[in-house]
Structures are given as structure tokens and as C-alpha cells.
């Protein structure tokens, strides 16, 4: 674990006992709260993992935009039964330390926000089971029990619709926001946080973050909240 700018613990009441800004923790979900990725896991079930992986690599190389890559991967998996998709979603394991960390943060008074460019089919379970306050995700579309596409994206490569408005609503200030992500597409949330944690992340994320954790145990991030 490396820290380039160790986050200091912050007091959230002043000496007069006046409440200060809301404490907020923002988490990516796939490969952070969950120790898995949904579309690759689904692709394995139908023998299309190479096709999905190749599209993912195109995005990482900058050959296609993330949004286009997502739509292409969905197109490859079109026709998959909803029951199979739900089974894969429900089987995605939690990252080590996810439950313990979230319980401790709730005890400390943090508002928990989950963000994923993935889908509610797995993210809704995470929100419920980890006690998150808010969730931003995209939604798959099924017709007659088969995957046909994805709804207009709410979580995009450059913004999360509604996140800025939520942070204003709950009176969260940047100095009291911690964000934990792993992928380049997730770095958009770093602009809202003072503590930016790269968790087992891509190299470009590590360059931008001020905290780098390279152990697959979320409890290793606790000291930075």
C-alpha cells in the first residue's frame, strides 16, 4: 500500500459543537465493492468471453469510447435469458472487507454513495445489503425474458447524472468526500473528492489518486476516511 498524500482524519464538529459538512464516501462497485465484473462473468456463461474481452481492450486502447464499447458488449450478449443474468448478478462475490468497512463508515456517520457504469441488476443488491444511502447505475432492458439492450445511460464516461445535485442537496463539501475507484472510467468522481483512493487500480488511476491501495481488502482503506 502506497500513499502519496496521506489523508488526514477530519473533525466534523467545531469546538462549539456546530455540525459541519456531511461526510461522504463514494464507491465504484465492480472490482471494488464486488470482487467481480458483471459482463465478463456473463460472457463466460455463454462462451463469448473473448469477444467481450476484445471489445474491452479496444476501449482501454482508446480506439472506441466507453459508451460505444458498452453497447457493443451488450450487443454480443443479446438474447441471454433474464434468469441467467440474475443468477450471474447474484453470484458476484463481495470484495474482502466490504461489509466491515461499510458498517464502520456508517457508524462514523458517513453517507454512502455507490456508482457504477454497470447495472442495477447487481448494484441494487449491493445497495441493500451494504446499507448504501444512494446508488447511481445504468439499466439493462429485457423483452420477453431476453436481453435486448440498455436504457439511456445515466452513468457515463464523463459524468454521473444527478451526482452534483445530490452532493449539493446533502450539503457535502469536497474536503469531506472520499472516493474509491479502480478504473479510468471511474475517475470522474475524483473531481468531487479530496481523498482519491485507487483500489487495485489501472495505472492511470494511480497517477491521479493521492492514495493507492494494492491489496484486495477494503479494510486497508479505512485509515483514510
> Can you give the pLDDT at residue 20?
57
pLDDT band at 163 (very low <50, low <70, confident <90, very high): very high
Torsion of CA 62, 63, 65, 70, to 10 degrees: -110
Could you tell me the domains of the chain? 2-36+94-224 (3.40.50.1000), 38-89 (1.10.150)
> Can you give the pLDDT at residue 104?
98
Q: How far is it, in rounded angstroms, from Cα 158 to Cα 168?
A: 19
- Other Cβ atoms less than 10 A from the Cβ of 155: the count is 23
Taking only the tens place, the pLDDT of each residue in 84-101 is 999 999 999 999 999 999
Can you read off the three cell numbers belonging to residue 187? 475517475
Residue 3 has pLDDT above 90, yes or no: no
**Sign of the dihedral through C-alpha 120, 121, 126, 131:** positive
Nearest to 132 by CA among 110, 156, 108, 157: 110
Is residue 93 within 8 Å of residue 35, measured between CB atoms?
yes
pLDDT band at 60 (very low <50, low <70, confident <90, very high): confident
Judged by DSSP in three states, 11 sits in coil
pLDDT band at 59 (very low <50, low <70, confident <90, very high): confident
> Can you give the pLDDT at residue 100?
98
Q: How far is it, in rounded angstroms, from Cα 40 to Cα 50?
A: 9
- Other Cβ atoms less than 10 A from the Cβ of 37: the count is 18
Question: Average pLDDT over the chain, rounded to whole?
Answer: 92
> 57 vs 124, which has greater pLDDT?
124
> 184 vs 123, which has greater pLDDT?
123
Can you read off the three cell numbers belonging to residue 20? 459541519
Q: How far is it, in rounded angstroms, from Cα 114 to Cα 166?
A: 12
> What is the model's pTM?
0.90
Q: Which helix (H) or strand (E) holds 58?
A: helix 49-60
Q: How far is it, in rounded angstroms, from Cα 70 to Cα 178?
A: 27
3-state helix, strand, coil in the chain (%, to 5): 40, 25, 35
Amino acid at each position: 500500500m502506497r500513499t502519496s498524500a496521506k489523508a488526514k482524519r477530519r473533525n466534523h464538529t467545531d469546538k462549539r459543537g456546530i455540525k459541519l459538512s456531511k461526510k461522504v464516501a463514494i464507491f465504484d462497485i465492480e472490482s471494488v465493492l464486488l470482487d467481480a465484473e458483471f459482463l465478463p462473468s456473463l460472457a463466460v456463461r455463454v462462451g463469448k468471453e473473448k469477444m467481450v474481452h476484445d471489445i474491452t481492450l479496444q476501449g482501454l486502447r482508446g480506439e472506441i469510447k466507453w459508451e460505444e464499447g458498452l453497447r457493443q458488449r451488450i450487443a454480443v450478449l443479446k438474447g441471454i435469458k433474464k434468469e441467467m443474468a440474475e443468477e450471474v448478478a447474484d453470484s458476484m462475490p463481495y470484495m474482502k472487507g466490504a461489509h466491515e468497512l461499510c458498517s464502520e463508515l456508517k457508524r462514523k456517520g458517513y453517507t454512502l454513495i455507490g456508482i457504477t457504469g454497470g447495472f442495477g441488476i447487481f448494484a441494487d443488491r449491493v445497495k441493500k445489503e451494504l446499507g448504501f444511502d444512494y446508488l447511481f447505475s445504468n439499466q439493462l432492458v429485457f423483452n420477453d425474458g431476453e436481453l435486448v439492450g440498455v436504457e439511456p445511460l445515466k452513468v457515463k464516461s464523463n459524468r454521473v447524472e444527478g451526482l452534483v445535485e445530490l452532493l449539493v442537496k446533502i450539503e457535502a463539501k469536497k474536503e469531506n468526500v472520499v472516493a474509491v475507484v479502480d478504473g479510468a472510467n471511474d475517475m470522474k468522481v475524483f473531481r468531487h473528492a479530496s481523498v482519491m483512493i485507487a483500489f487495485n487500480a489501472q495505472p492511470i488511476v494511480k497517477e491521479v489518486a493521492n492514495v493507492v491501495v494494492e491489496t484486495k481488502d477494503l479494510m486497508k482503506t479505512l485509515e483514510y476516511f
